[in-house]
């Protein structure tokens, strides 16, 4: 999250009234992240204070955005704790029972969603990892009957397109690793076992800072704007690469990973092919975020509040996954 587009209180207040959320009482820019403009909104409706998040989408288009917004609505309606988008009052139709979820602010597509309670757990225990694993499995199953489809926009096609763009900014050893790993992932993706993996909507970015806990209980998954239809195993790999690693070295934490996978499998058991391919998908997840962080670091956009992530972290994770593949 960051602020690329400045929103005035009058513009935010007009949107809040249009959505029937009361009167705006406070507007605060959110620091962190690198994709969209985000603000906290505090409103007053019938004497009660309520909190929401306003997002202005800087890269995603009005054609792409309904997939994300209606997915969040779908998951919320199926009992998954995610931010529920607010619909324009009276806009529901037989073809679109959710109503109009996409708005426009400052000439940008925008949405207002519920603000979840809790805080991120940046030093997770096995209990936190188990809670995330179980909820991720529930989320995958809940999304199984979601009718809209959109590919993972940061998947293999994007890696193939972006690696040549970032190669001029890395040294010889890094270049060799990027090229060899990209070739390996193209080989894996061409195999019949990979194409047969269970698929559906995935979060694709479920890091520690995109999950909330309160009093030890998981209270929400948020920031779904990298979501897409892909293998559920890739979603698991992305989580394991963040929740179950040593942040200093990138080394795999077997105890936390075992807790995560036991909890996930207790809701949706993993197949034999999924367990066999998981080490390769761990490498895929590390590659994806190393590429995107190189891109954001070396080709940044201006923002009022912005801090690019360190690309070196996922280089270390990838090297660890290649040198020491975990056994599942």
Q: Mean pLDDT, 10 residues at a time, over the chain (328 residues)?
A: 82 96 95 79 92 94 96 97 97 95 95 96 98 98 96 97 98 98 98 97 97 97 96 98 96 98 98 97 98 93 62 97 95
Residue ranges of alpha helices (H) inside 210-310 are: 232-243, 254-267, 272-298
Q: Determine, yes or no, domain membership for 269.
A: yes
**258 and 310, same domain (yes or no):** yes
Q: Which of 91, 114, 137 is the last residue of a domain?
A: 114
Which phi and psi (to 5°) does residue 64 adopt? -80, -35
Q: Determine, yes or no, domain membership for 144.
A: yes
Identify any residues that bridge with 310 across adjacent strands, giving them in sequence order: none
Q: How far is CA 17 from CA 88, 171, 231, in A?
A: 10, 53, 40
Q: What is the pLDDT of residue 293?
A: 96
Please give the Cα distance from 88 to 98 (Å, whole number). 9
Q: Determine, yes or no, domain membership for 1.
A: no
**303 and 211, same domain (yes or no):** yes
Please give the Cα distance from 204 to 239 (Å, whole number). 8
Q: What is the pLDDT of residue 170?
A: 97
**295 and 161, same domain (yes or no):** yes
**Would you say 216 and 127 are in contact if contact means Cβ atoms under 8 Å apart?**
yes
- Locate the DSSP E strands across 159-238: 199-202, 211-214, 217-221, 228-231
**86 and 171, same domain (yes or no):** no
**76 and 197, same domain (yes or no):** no
What is the CATH number for 203? 3.90.1200.10
Q: Which of 93, 114, 135 is the last residue of a domain?
A: 114
**Would you say 88 and 15 are in contact if contact means Cβ atoms under 8 Å apart?**
no
**146 and 53, same domain (yes or no):** no
**148 and 53, same domain (yes or no):** no
Q: How many CB atoms lie within 10 A of CB 157?
A: 12
Q: What is the pTM of this model?
A: 0.93
**146 and 268, same domain (yes or no):** yes
Extract the tokens encoding 176.
């060799």
Identify any residues that bridge with 2 across adjacent strands, giving them in sequence order: 37
**99 and 133, same domain (yes or no):** no
**167 and 252, same domain (yes or no):** yes
Q: What is the pLDDT of residue 306?
A: 52
Cα first-last separation, the chain: 34
Q: Which of 69, 89, 114 is the last residue of a domain?
A: 114
Q: Give the domain range for residue 88.
A: 9-114
**Exposure of 152 by Cβ count < 10 A (0-12 exposed, 13-18 middle, 19+ buried)?**
buried
Q: What is the pLDDT of residue 34?
A: 62
What is the CATH number for 24? 3.30.200.20
Please report which helix (H) or strand (E) contains residue 112, including its range. strand 108-114
Please give the Cα distance from 48 to 22 (Å, whole number). 9
Q: What is the DSSP letter of 104?
A: E
Q: What is the DSSP letter of 85?
A: B
**13 and 133, same domain (yes or no):** no
* Cβ neighbours of residue 144 closer than 8 Å, sequence gap 6 or more: 200
**142 and 108, same domain (yes or no):** no
Name the domain count of the chain. 2
């Amino acid at each position: 999250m960051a602020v690329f587009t400045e929103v005035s209180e009058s513009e935010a207040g007009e949107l809040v009234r249009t959505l029937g959320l009361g009167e705006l009482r406070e507007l605060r820019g959110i620091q962190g992240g690198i994709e969209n403009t985000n603000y906290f909104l505090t409103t007053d409706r019938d004497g009660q204070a309520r909190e929401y998040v306003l997002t202005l989408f800087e890269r995603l288009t009005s054609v792409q955005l309904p997939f994300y917004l209606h997915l969040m609505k779908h998951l919320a309606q199926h009992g998954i704790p995610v931010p529920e988008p607010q619909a324009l009052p009276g806009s529901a139709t037989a073809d679109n029972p959710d109503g109009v979820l996409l708005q426009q602010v400052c000439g940008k597509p925008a949405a207002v969603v519920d603000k979840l309670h809790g805080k991120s757990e940046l030093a997770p225990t096995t209990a936190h990892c188990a809670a995330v694993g179980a909820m991720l499995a529930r989320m995958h199953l809940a999304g199984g009957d979601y009718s809209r489809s959109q590919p993972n926009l940061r998947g293999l096609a994007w890696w193939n397109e972006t690696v040549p763009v970032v190669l001029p900014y890395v040294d010889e050893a890094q270049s060799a690793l990027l090229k060899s790993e990209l070739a390996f992932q193209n080989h894996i993706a061409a195999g019949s076992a990979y194409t047969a993996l269970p698929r559906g909507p995935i979060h694709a970015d479920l890091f520690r800072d995109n999950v909330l806990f309160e009093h030890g209980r998981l209270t929400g998954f948020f920031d779904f704007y990298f979501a897409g239809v892909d293998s559920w195993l890739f979603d698991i790999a992305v989580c394991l690469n963040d929740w179950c690693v040593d942040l200093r070295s990138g080394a795999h934490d077997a105890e936390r990973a075992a807790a995560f996978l036991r909890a996930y499998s207790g809701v949706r058991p993993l197949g034999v092919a999924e367990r066999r391919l998981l080490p390769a998908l761990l490498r895929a997840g590390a590659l994806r975020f190393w590429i995107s962080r190189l891109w954001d670091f070396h080709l940044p956009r201006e923002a009022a509040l912005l801090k690019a992530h360190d690309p070196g972290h996922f280089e270390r994770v990838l090297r660890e996954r290649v040198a020491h593949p975990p056994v599942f």
